[in-house]
Amino acid sequence: MFSKIKACLFDLDGVLVDTAKYHYAAWKRLAESLGVPFTEHDNEQLKGVSRVDSLAYILNKGNIQSNQTQRQQWMDIKNEWYLELVSGMQQNELLPNVVSFLAELKTHGIRIGLGSSSKNAQLILDKTGIVNYFDTIVDGRHTTNSKPHPEVFVKGAQQLQCSPAETVVFEDAISGIEAAIAGGFYAIGLGDARTLEKAHFVIPSLENFSYQQLVDLPIFR
């Protein structure tokens, strides 16, 4: 099913950077302004989920009725608060080994893409100084379906001119793993193997992962 690796697609939050704390702070601030308690457990449910669906989760939890105009206003407010937080990001906020791993992939001619639900991916890549490693960026501005729909990865592979069988997806969220598998990609989970049990292979993070370990995976030999 899988062939020689020609491309890698990366999720953003939890894989390359840790902006989850900023999303959590912004969603919590919005939820509590609406009188809805918002915990770290709630935040976990929003991992890899679009802005629209994240707001829907909060409104459902609070049994809040709203119209489209109100929902858009709330999403805009949340995004303003989030952007205030991420606008000061620097390269030292990248997760360990990210720059080295991306550089190693480039050296070996692997095409690199981003597949994220975030609409602020470009800003974050710019702020952390890694945007030039990416051959394509597909994020929430370019998709109509959120994960676990495979659209974001399918579009990424198309733009990289690679088939799913030639492309590895790196994801830290269950919905992202499901999206990758639904699209026919090889899915590497970053995090807890029990949580990400649907992934083809799981590593704790990119910190101790190398190109050689990637190509040495049994399925690609």
pLDDT digits (tens, 9 = 90+) for 55-92: 999 999 999 999 999 999 999 999 999 999 998 899 99
Separation of alpha carbons 73 and 81, rounded Å: 13
Q: Is the pLDDT of residue 208 over 80?
A: yes
| Beta strand residue intervals within the chain, DSSP E | 7-10, 111-115, 136-138, 167-171, 186-190, 201-203
pLDDT band at 210 (very low <50, low <70, confident <90, very high): very high
- What kind and span of H or E run contains 104? helix 98-107
Domain ranges of the chain: 7-18+91-220, 20-86
Which comes out higher in pLDDT, residue 27 or 51?
27
Q: Is the dihedral of CA 213, 181, 178, 10 positive or negative?
A: positive
Q: Is the pLDDT of residue 113 over 80?
A: yes
Q: What is the pLDDT of residue 98?
A: 98
pLDDT digits (tens, 9 = 90+) for 28-38: 999 999 999 99
Q: What is the pLDDT of residue 21?
A: 85
Supply the pTM of this predicted model.
0.84
Contacts of 144 (CB under 8 A, 6+ apart): 151
Class of domain 7-18+91-220: alpha beta
Q: What is the pLDDT of residue 117?
A: 85
* Residues labelled as active-site residues: 11, 13
Q: What is the pLDDT of residue 23?
A: 87
Give the SS3 label for residue 31: helix
pLDDT digits (tens, 9 = 90+) for 160-202: 999 999 999 999 999 999 999 999 999 999 999 999 999 999 9
Contacts of 177 (CB under 8 A, 6+ apart): 171, 187, 189, 196, 198, 199
Rounded average pLDDT over 6-26: 92
Q: Is the pLDDT of residue 221 over 80?
A: no
pLDDT band at 106 (very low <50, low <70, confident <90, very high): very high
Q: Is the pLDDT of residue 1 over 70?
A: no
DSSP state letters, 41-57:
HHHHHTTT--HHHHHHH
Separation of alpha carbons 182 and 176, rounded Å: 10
Which comes out higher in pLDDT, residue 117 or 176?
176
Rounded average pLDDT over 112-131: 93
Mean pLDDT of all residues belonging to the chain: 94
Decide which of 2.40.420.20, 1.10.150.240, 3.40.50.2000, 3.40.50.12280 is the CATH code for 20-86.
1.10.150.240
Residue in 45, 74, 92 with CA at minimum distance from that of residue 195 = 45
Whether a cis peptide bond, with omega within 30° of 0, leads into 148 is yes
